[in-house]
Structure formats: structure tokens, C-alpha cells
């Protein structure tokens, strides 16, 4: 089979490898769609993986092609696969906080993942997808689950003004969730007009290009200086993290989801707002809860099946596995506009 292997940072290759052997407690999944996560880009181009020659890819769906005798799953089952493999022993797993597992593995970063034609998957990591959910949509349950996990960390009340910084796939799902949960107004902020137009298409009431307009000042203008009730930061940049804190109104909730790989230093204005407005600032990590993989995953699948969570406008590219090395180099071009890049093995 073909597989996309990361030898070291900057060295990504498509190779012919053996189809994985079927382990006990596992099934073999034929990968139908696998997306590029925002975390894959620095992993491939800058940091490398936990071991050389790792098959990357963790946002995926597929069809079961081989099972062990006595399995409750059957050949032909359509599945989405949560990539976290928790230890189920640590205190965080025991309390159902699987995102905080202290000894986990992870498909596509700590063990071979799904940018391949087949992948071996533990049965405990399988979730059925109904026929009404296309494989390409199912491969985006992961970013959708990340979005709702973060929203539930901060909570949205009916009528709230919600500001979402960053209109990548997680931000675009967050916009939709915010409207579904009763937000009165959703404001989307990004630096790319193309992404902002998609945000508008998916339900954003106001859009702000933060390269052209000060987003904090514009949010104050839109809200009559009241600020946003809930702010979600998905960009992973220190300047945006500060803008997020400065955008929240009194008793507002801010959730930081974007991975910056940098220190978080609040400006004088942001720190002052945090105190004087009695803001709540939280982090959000991954997407898992109890029972594993969690309500974030089952809720996202349910909304996709009902047609309430739209996925197709979020996909910007549909590629073959052979195109992986080229597209990862293209990600380094700051003028390259993309949303969810999807490989269809």
C-alpha cells in the first residue's frame, strides 16, 4: 500500500509499504478520507515526529475491511476513528478526562497514522458513521469535536455575542456550533478575505479582516462598547490571544485553543481587562470526554447526520497521497490560502 512517511522535519516521502498485520483487539480500516490538521504542518516542516519514518495523519474515516474472530465489528462498517489512544490507567482516564491522559499514544504522531491506504485501529477507537454522512465529512469530526469541546469549556448562552478569532476548520465549525447553541451574534475574525467569506456562508453575522481593521475596536463598535460574552481563540498567535482577552465584555469567557508554541504574555490592557471585567480565561486541549471518545464526537456526528453541521465549504483541496510532499512545502508560502486539505487514498 502507499503511505506518507515523515523521515525527519522537512523530509516527507510517499512510499510503498506492507499493509499492517491485524493485531488482537484491532480491525483493519481502508482509509477513505484523511485531512491535514493544523498540528501536522509544523510537525512535518519544523519539528518532526516522535520516531523516524512515521506515517502521519490522524483526522480520518474509512471502511472496515478485516476483523478478528469474535469482533463486534464487521467488514463493511463505516467508521470515524478518534486518534487518541488513552492509557485507561492514570487518574485522568479514570475520571473520564481522556484529553489529559498522562501516558497516551496517538495515531499519526506517536504511532503510524492514516495518510495511507490502510491503517490498523484498536476496536475501542471506532465510532460508527451513518450512511447520510459522507466519508469526507466524517474525516472532519475531529476538528468539529475540538471546536465544541472548547465551546463547552466556556459555554454559550442564548443571545450571547460570540467572537471567534481564526477561520480555519475549527473556527468554521465553532461558528456553526455557536449559532446552533443560540448565539445572538457571531463575529468572525481572520486575515484572509477568502476564509472570512466562508465564515459568512456558514453563519457569521459580522466578519473582520484584522489586517485592515483593529478587531477589538470593531467589536466594541458592533457591541456598543459592551464587548463579546464569549471569545474563542483558534489562531495560536500571541497578538491574537491578547486581542481575544481585550474583546471580552464584563464577566466574559475566553477560551484559548490555538497552539502558539510560544509564551503567553498579556498586554497591560489585556491584564487590566482580565481584572476589571472579571473575565474567565480557560485553555482547551483536544476533544475527548466520557464515555470515550466523548459527547464531542457523538454530538458532531449527530449534527452532521441531521444536516445541521455543514462541511463541504470547509474543504479547500482534495488530493491524492502522491501530492502530500508538494502540498506540505506549499504550506510554507504565507500567501497560499487553504482551509481543510483532504487526501482521498
- Note the pLDDT tens digit of each residue in 133-145: 999 999 999 999 9
Residues 34 and 62: their CA atoms lie apart, in Å, by 9
Local confidence band at 59 (pLDDT 50, 70, 90 cut-offs): very high
What confidence score (pLDDT) does residue 4 get? 98
What confidence score (pLDDT) does residue 149 get? 98
67 and 155 part of one domain: no
DSSP state of 71: -
109 and 178 part of one domain: no
Residues 19 and 303: their CA atoms lie apart, in Å, by 34
Is the predicted pLDDT of residue 319 greater than 90, yes or no?
Answer: yes
Cell representation of residue 87: 492509557
CATH number of the domain at 208, please: 3.40.50.720
What confidence score (pLDDT) does residue 261 get? 81
130 and 163 part of one domain: no
Express each pLDDT in 259-269 by its tens digit: 988 888 999 99
Q: What is the mean pLDDT of residues 285-297?
A: 97
Local confidence band at 49 (pLDDT 50, 70, 90 cut-offs): confident
Residue 296 is assigned to a structural domain of this protein: no
What confidence score (pLDDT) does residue 260 get? 86
Report yes or no: 115 and 139 within 8 Å, Cβ to Cβ: no
- DSSP line for 77-110: -EEE---EE--S-SHHHHTT-GGG-SS-EEBTTT
197 and 316 part of one domain: no
Domain encompassing residue 324: 2-140+311-343
Residue 264 is assigned to a structural domain of this protein: yes
Is the predicted pLDDT of residue 296 greater than 90, yes or no?
Answer: yes
Local confidence band at 178 (pLDDT 50, 70, 90 cut-offs): very high
Residue 289 is assigned to a structural domain of this protein: no
In this prediction, what percent of the chain has a pLDDT beyond 70? Answer: 100
The H or E element that residue 59 is part of is strand 59-67
Which residues sit opposite 15 in a β-bridge? 3
What confidence score (pLDDT) does residue 19 get? 98
Residue 328 is assigned to a structural domain of this protein: yes
132 and 12 part of one domain: yes
Which residues sit opposite 254 in a β-bridge? 231, 281
CATH number of the domain at 61, please: 3.90.180.10
Residue 304 is assigned to a structural domain of this protein: no
119 and 187 part of one domain: no
Local confidence band at 196 (pLDDT 50, 70, 90 cut-offs): very high
Cell representation of residue 108: 499519526
Q: What is the mean pLDDT of residues 26-50?
A: 95
What confidence score (pLDDT) does residue 17 get? 97
Local confidence band at 252 (pLDDT 50, 70, 90 cut-offs): very high
Average of per-residue pLDDT values in the chain: 97
Which residues sit opposite 196 in a β-bridge? none
State which of 283, 300, 328 marks the end of a domain. Answer: 283
Q: What is the mean pLDDT of residues 9-33?
A: 96
Residue 27 is assigned to a structural domain of this protein: yes
62 and 174 part of one domain: no
State which of 235, 268, 283 marks the end of a domain. Answer: 283
122 and 159 part of one domain: no
Residue 297 makes CB contacts below 8 A (sequence gap 6+) with: 80, 82, 127, 141, 145, 287, 288
Residue 115 is assigned to a structural domain of this protein: yes
Express each pLDDT in 91-114 by its tens digit: 999 999 999 999 999 999 999 999
Report yes or no: 164 and 170 within 8 Å, Cβ to Cβ: no
34 and 150 part of one domain: no
150 and 217 part of one domain: yes
Residue 59 is assigned to a structural domain of this protein: yes
CA angle centred on 228, ends 338 and 238, rounded to 5°: 50
150 and 273 part of one domain: yes
In this prediction, what percent of the chain has a pLDDT beyond 90? Answer: 96
Residue 241 makes CB contacts below 8 A (sequence gap 6+) with: 233, 256, 258, 260, 264, 266
Phi, psi of 126 (to 5 degrees): -110, 140
Cell representation of residue 76: 463493511
Is the predicted pLDDT of residue 77 greater than 90, yes or no?
Answer: yes
Is the predicted pLDDT of residue 54 greater than 90, yes or no?
Answer: yes
Please give the tally of structural domains in the chain: 2
State which of 240, 263, 283 marks the end of a domain. Answer: 283
Virtual torsion, Cα 169, 58, 31, 45, nearest 10 deg? 80
Cell representation of residue 125: 477507537
**Could you tell me the CA-to-CA distances from 1 to 14, 65, 118, 140 in Å, in that order?**
10, 14, 7, 23
Q: What is the mean pLDDT of residues 195-223?
A: 98
Cell representation of residue 281: 480565561
Say whether pTM exceeds 0.85.
Answer: yes
Residue 69 makes CB contacts below 8 A (sequence gap 6+) with: none
Report yes or no: 174 and 147 within 8 Å, Cβ to Cβ: yes
What confidence score (pLDDT) does residue 262 get? 86
18 and 126 part of one domain: yes
Amino acid at each position: 500500500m502507499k503511505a506518507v512517511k515523515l523521515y525527519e522535519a522537512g523530509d516527507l516521502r510517499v512510499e510503498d509499504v506492507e499493509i499492517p498485520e491485524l493485531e488482537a483487539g484491532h480491525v483493519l480500516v481502508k482509509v477513505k478520507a484523511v485531512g491535514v490538521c493544523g498540528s501536522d504542518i509544523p510537525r512535518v516542516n519544523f519539528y518532526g515526529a516522535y520516531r523516524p519514518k512515521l506515517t502521519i495523519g490522524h483526522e480520518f474515516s474509512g471502511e472496515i475491511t478485516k476483523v478478528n474472530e469474535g469482533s463486534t465489528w464487521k467488514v463493511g462498517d463505516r467508521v470515524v476513528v478518534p486518534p487518541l489512544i488513552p492509557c485507561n490507567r492514570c487518574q485522568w482516564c479514570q475520571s473520564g478526562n481522556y484529553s489529559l491522559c498522562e501516558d497516551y499514544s496517538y495515531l499519526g504522531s506517536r504511532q503510524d497514522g492514516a495518510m495511507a491506504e490502510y491503517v490498523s485501529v484498536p476496536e475501542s477507537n471506532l465510532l460508527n458513521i451513518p450512511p447520510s454522512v459522507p466519508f469526507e465529512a466524517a474525516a472532519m469530526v475531529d476538528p468539529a469535536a475540538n471546536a465544541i469541546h472548547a465551546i463547552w469549556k466556556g459555554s454559550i448562552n442564548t443571545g450571547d455575542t460570540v467572537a471567534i478569532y481564526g477561520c480555519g476548520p475549527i473556527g468554521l465549525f465553532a461558528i456553526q456550533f455557536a449559532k446552533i447553541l443560540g448565539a445572538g451574534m457571531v463575529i468572525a475574525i481572520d486575515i484572509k478575505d477568502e476564509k472570512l467569506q466562508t465564515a459568512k456562508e456558514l453563519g457569521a453575522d459580522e466578519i473582520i479582516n484584522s489586517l485592515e481593521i483593529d478587531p477589538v475596536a470593531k467589536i466594541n463598535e458592533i457591541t456598543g462598547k459592551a464587548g463579546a460574552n464569549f471569545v474563542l481563540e483558534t489562531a495560536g498567535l500571541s497578538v491574537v490571544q491578547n486581542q481575544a482577552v481585550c474583546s471580552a465584555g464584563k464577566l466574559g469567557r475566553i477560551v484559548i485553543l490555538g497552539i502558539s508554541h510560544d509564551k503567553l504574555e498579556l498586554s497591560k490592557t489585556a491584564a487590566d481587562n482580565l481584572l476589571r471585567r472579571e473575565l474567565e480565561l480557560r485553555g482547551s486541549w483536544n476533544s475527548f470526554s466520557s464515555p470515550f471518545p466523548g459527547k464531542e464526537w457523538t454530538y458532531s456526528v449527530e449534527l452532521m447526520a441531521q444536516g445541521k453541521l455543514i462541511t463541504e465549504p470547509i474543504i479547500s483541496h482534495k488530493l491524492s497521497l502522491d501530492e502530500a510532499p508538494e502540498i506540505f512545502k506549499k504550506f510554507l508560502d504565507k500567501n497560499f490560502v487553504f482551509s481543510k486539505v483532504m487526501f482521498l487514498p
